[in-house]
Amino acid sequence: MTKQAISPLRRRMIEDMTIRKLSPKTQHDYVQRVKDFAVFLGRSPDQAQSEDVRGFRLHLVSRGAGVPKINATVSALRFFFNVTLDRPDLTKHLAFIHEPRKAPVVLSPDEVARFLEAAPSIKYKAALSVAYGAGLPSLRSSP
């Protein structure tokens, strides 16, 4: 099996990540996200313009990428443009997406009473009472 030569730009990015002690997994993920960007561009990512970055974000959304993947891509591209290329102008519109958290459904006092009464023994009733009182998420009803 032959290994492909690493481009000087990728080598520099890996060195920059190593200097900052990013974990091997983070380094792998960042390289993959920048590679995805380069494939989208059809040219070296160091030739990117702000419209290219915007177009890539639209591309990710239109392909159904989830919030975690988009945010991972934002992190990778921010690192690449800010640190490796020293081109912070390309990152000013690279914002993270914040997904609103879903509030848990809180049981009514009657529902809690029925829930506890359904316990098969006093031991389970006590355990469920403590768990519910402590707010353990596995005992909350979800929408």
Q: What is the CATH number of the domain that holds 57?
A: 1.10.150
Write out the two tokens for 15: 């060195």
* Residue 45 · residue 37 · CB < 8 Å: yes
Tokens, residue 117: 């009464």
Question: Are 17 and 81 found together in one domain?
Answer: yes
Q: Given this model, what pLDDT does residue 137 score?
A: 61
Any bridge partners for residue 70, and if so which?
Answer: none
pTM given for the model: 0.70
User: How far apart (Å, rounded) are the C-alpha atoms in residues 72 and 37?
Assistant: 12
Quote the pLDDT of residue 23: 97
Which residue segment(s) compose the domain that 47 sits in? 8-91
Q: Classify 72 as helix, strand or coil.
A: helix
Given a cut of 70, the residues of the chain with pLDDT beneath it are 1-3, 136-143
25-65: per-residue pLDDT in tens? 999 999 999 999 999 999 999 999 999 999 999 999 999 99
| 71 inside domain | yes
Same domain, 70 and 31: yes
Q: Are residues 33 and 78 in the same domain?
A: yes
